Chains A and B, each alone.
Chain A
């Protein structure tokens, strides 16, 4: 059994079959199935997301101290890094902790991309290949062949500009909510680039990837925004305009 077979056995085929079964349960709508799968994925990764959001919240709370350090050691980057790491350690915060939920989602992206292409069977080979991957569940077999259209979008075809804006926009909002401003001009500039680069990149990618994957990204970001709103208690840094502006505190 090769790595490809193991991948299909553990992730590829289960995601494919769940997606098809969901499609049947949700009245034959493949789009609703992708949305439902996104919610399921976000629920499964909730412990990690929660930890990430707690880290984000802790980082937000630490901002006055971080800004103080930036003012104090702004000219000595090495010292600033050391002091910040010390601060993170004392607070029990891992600044890279926010990467884990993203990394966990990578296999899901791959599996979902494969599942969309396989389930919609754009070539006769794909349809034949699909036959070998389906479980014997009644719901799965009743769902085939799938309708690839959802709200006018061909989920197996490339995304359109509306989807691209939705993907980029929701990703920007989600990032903006968590990205703390920096008084260090260089760091602030990097943050600004990242805040724009990722949403633009994913927006553009959703124009060339199957629209179903773009739908997953958009829904995933919307769920992220909602989760962040409730866990961190508000819109975070979304309304903040300048680095000198203090972090908004939600009244209890």
Chain B
């Protein structure tokens, strides 16, 4: 009897805890790698942690490479996942090599020929290598931001709060920066280069300038009241970044005060999560409030806006005179920038692909290559305004 009573009370007390563990409060890391097209091959990261190469003519899988999973720390009574194989960055193609950073804290350099032959990784004679990012007393060494490849180096932002420069050919460490954000550590945004300087923004509201040669902090840095959420974009010595105070911030390199903030009065409906693109003096910025804003780069004045009614997570893409955006509802909007756009712009086309889009995408020769959150690649024919073809990225058993 006493055991039953005790058991009953224990079950009553445990019930909500079992519930919270299983309902959970967080979403597991799934990744939202984007697409790159090079020489007729589409490269993307999949939700099961593979890098795939798909021939856009034959629509066949040329090769795939499985990245190393990472064991997730258990929380609560562990109903959730235990191993994660997520990729957030977009593969970077440089001649016959493909570079990618993973949530498990690795940077891998894959040789196209070696992967086609399905050789054991890494094939050093083909120039393949892998680099493990140190945890460095942080909670994680995950690489969430996209890699930046420039000349003979690769620049990596890590969740441990440091930026690393790696030798592109051998994967050797050139330098590591100091921890740039002691409070949050996470550097989830990509750096950007102007001249001999690397610019990095942090969640605690700083923009740092680092020497491209040594990784040392240079004299200038910028401090904002709000943290920065989007990767920076540079246009004529102006850095554009989205911040957590629901504004897009323009900072002139060398200045201590922001050039402008948009909107100037009331904040937008949500964060400017995606990096903006700049074309002919106009900044095109997608916002999680579902609006695309066209803003004068010099003044911060709004030229026009368009409401997609669904959060814009992915950065806009320019193709000739066309601006292409996607949203979480799975609609691709195309704007003709050569046309006179009014306050409330009207898109040239709105094409539904039926899958949410979060990762970056690319557009080339009239086609947009988009990875949907259903783990499929959609190729959208912009002229025809329809999905030309689609290929699921699910691994075959």
Contact = CB atoms under 8 A, between A and B. Distances in A.
Interface of A: 99, 102, 106-107, 109-110, 113-118, 121-129, 131-132, 136, 141-142, 144-145, 147, 154, 157-158, 186-187, 189-190, 193-194, 197-198, 201-202, 205, 208-210
A124 B226 contact: no
Given A118-B26, A201-B13, A110 B73 contact: no
Nearest to B6: A193
Contacts of B13: 102, 198, 201-202
B194 interface: no
A123 B245 contact: no
If over half of A's interface residues share one DSSP class (helix, strand or loop), that class is named, otherwise mixed; here it is helix
Given A125-B27, A131-B288, A158 B17 contact: no
By size class, the interface of chain B is 35 or more
Interface string B2-17: 1001100110111111
A121 B12 CA distance: 29
A76 B52 CA distance: 75
If over half of B's interface residues share one DSSP class (helix, strand or loop), that class is named, otherwise mixed; here it is loop
B188 A124 contact: yes
A126 B26 contact: yes
**Most chain A beta-carbon contacts within 10 A, residue among B27, B245, B311, B313:** B27
Contact of B16 (A106, A129, A131, A201): A106
B339 interface: no
A128 B26 contact: no
Contact of A114 (B2, B24, B32, B225): B24
A149 to B, nearest CB: 8
A102 B13 CA distance: 9
A165 to B, nearest CB: 19
A153 B279 CA distance: 46
A141 B267 contact: yes
Given A106-B16, A141-B245, A208 B74 contact: yes
Contact of A208 (B23, B77, B271): B77
**Most chain A beta-carbon contacts within 10 A, residue among B6, B19, B20, B288:** B20
A99 B5 CA distance: 14
A198 B10 CA distance: 7
Nearest to B268: A136
B144 interface: yes
Contacts of A131: 270-271, 273, 288, 311
A193 B73 CA distance: 32
A158 B24 contact: no
B19 A110 contact: yes
A197 to B, nearest CB: 6
Contacts of A132: 270, 288, 311
A29 to B, nearest CB: 12
B212 interface: no
Given A142-B245, A147-B183, A208 B75 contact: yes
Nearest to B77: A208
B28 A123 contact: yes
A142 B226 contact: yes
**Most chain A beta-carbon contacts within 10 A, residue among B6, B77, B267, B311:** B6
Contact of A144 (B10, B227, B273): B227
Contacts of A144: 227, 244
**Most chain A beta-carbon contacts within 10 A, residue among B25, B227, B358:** B25
Contacts of B76: 113, 208-210
